[in-house]
Amino acid sequence: MSDVNKVVLAYSGGLDTSVIVRWLQDTYGCEVVTFTADIGQGEEVEPARAKAEALGIRQIYIDDLREEFVRDFVFPMFRANTVYEGEYLLGTSIARPLIAKRLIEIANETGADAISHGATGKGNDQVRFELGAYALKPGIRVIAPWREWDLTSRESLMAYCKTHDIPVDFANAKKKSPYSMDANLLHISYEGDLLEDPWAEPEEDMWRWSVSPEEAPDTASYIELDFEGGDIVGIDGEAMSPATVLETLNRVGGANGIGRDDIVENRYVGMKSRGCYETPGGTIMLKAHRAIESLTLDREVAHLKDELMPRYAKLVYNGYWWSPERKMLQAAIDASQVDVNGKVRLKLYKGNVVVAGRQSADSLFDEHIATFDEDGGAYDQADAEGFIKLNALRMRIAATKGRSLL
């Protein structure tokens, strides 16, 4: 007899997780609870209910988490201007802690003693799901089928379905994109197939959310973003919820060829991985946020944030969202955002995001001091001489002691 009585599975309704349902039932003799999250992947999630019912599932959770995802995960991450390895806006990474949180909540609600996911043993997602689960419920058991079974290809999964009478649309399964794809409100990612050759250029018909810059309109689009506490609260004067903000920016960004990226990144498990990403809304958000911070943040606060950001990004990428160090960094980042309020005007043109203007009642920019014209004595230029000499003192002393830098 298995010591697992009930398991909560992160269930997409696709081929992999449908096989996992039956495999869990057969291998562990346990009851399976399915959980399907709507985090803006752009596909209907309700059909997962019928698929789960056809597999004999009695407890089915289908949750709309779009607002929570953007409000409590995407926005806090963007307050830090988070970019992993200089390019990746962490679209997949930031969704995993929310899914892990909800898996644990459902396990608690249903009395399950295990959770399960469809992440492979080669990727980062297994780490992200499981670190989050253990942080939130230390005694939970995690079942990761890809680390246990001997099914290694789509063909073997479809054969398993036929053998075990799992209802799958085989015609559609065979027509499925050759790429491994993950989508949510922040991005869509592509891996596998020809992308496994870092020299190969992605096919144009791979991209789903954006036109190519060459096909983007010949006339620029202008948008104005309203910020409060470092978050976007409205577009073009219209107040919007967090999810609506990101949906709107994805739409206008994608129409202007914005947000495509092709990256070779360093996975936490040790290998390099090539992936392509579409993050139109996130690309716009990052540019706009840095623009409003340029007006409102103190210089040393801004520079300290930039020093902390790579560490914060690595924590999110590696799955440590639910860690004390991320919580500590978040407190510092959020404290910096109190005065990050105002408006940013952007020009979107053929893949480019250009800042066209920024304004804030909390601006630290003083035109009377910064002007090249007469400043009325606001800044005494003679003060600069002593400032420069004091800052040069250590180098002057070293030079008089014969320490040449040439």
Quick check: 121 pLDDT over 90?
yes
Q: Given pLDDT bands bounded at 50, 70 and 90, which one contains residue 154? A: confident
Q: Indicate which residue of 12, 18, 116, 125 is catalytic.
A: 125
Sign of the torsion formed by the C-alpha atoms of 232, 238, 242 and 247: negative
Nearest 5°: phi and psi at 210? -135, 150
- In the predicted model, what is the mean pLDDT of residues 173-190? 85
Sheet holding 231-235, edge to edge: 238-239, 231-235, 221-228, 342-349, 352-359
Segments making up each domain of the chain, as ranges: 6-80+92-176, 183-297+339-359
Q: What does the alpha-carbon distance between residue 359 and residue 368 come to, in Å, rounded to a whole number? A: 16
pLDDT at position 152: 85
> What letter would DSSP give residue 371?
-
Residue 180 appears among annotated catalytic residues: yes
What integer pLDDT is reported at residue 64 of this predicted model? 97
Longest dimension (CA), the chain: 86
Quick one: pLDDT at residue 178? 85
Instruction: Please tell me which residue in 180, 221, 294, 363 is annotated as part of the active site.
Output: 180
Domains 6-80+92-176 and 183-297+339-359 share a fold: no
Burial classification of residue 20, based on how many CB atoms lie within 10 Å of its CB (0-12 exposed, 13-18 middle, 19 or more buried): buried
Given a cut of 90, is residue 175 above it in pLDDT? Answer: no
The confidence band for 167, taking pLDDT boundaries of 50, 70 and 90, is: confident
What pLDDT is recorded for position 176? 64
Q: What percentage of residues in the chain have a pLDDT greater than 70? A: 98
pLDDT of residue 113: 95
Quickly name the fold that domain 183-297+339-359 has: Argininosuccinate synthetase, chain A, domain 2 (3.90.1260)
404 annotated active-site: no
CA–CA separation, 59 and 36 (whole Å):
12
Model pTM? 0.95
Query: Which of these ranges, 14-18, 65-69, 93-97, has the smallest mean pLDDT?
Result: 14-18
Predicted confidence band of residue 171 (pLDDT cuts 50, 70, 90) = low
Going by pLDDT thresholds of 50, 70 and 90, the confidence category of residue 24 is: very high
For the structural domain made of 6-80+92-176, what CATH number should be given? 3.40.50.620
Of residues 22, 79, 96, 102, which has the active-site annotation?
96
Active site residue 16: yes
- Is 231 one of the annotated active-site residues of the chain? no
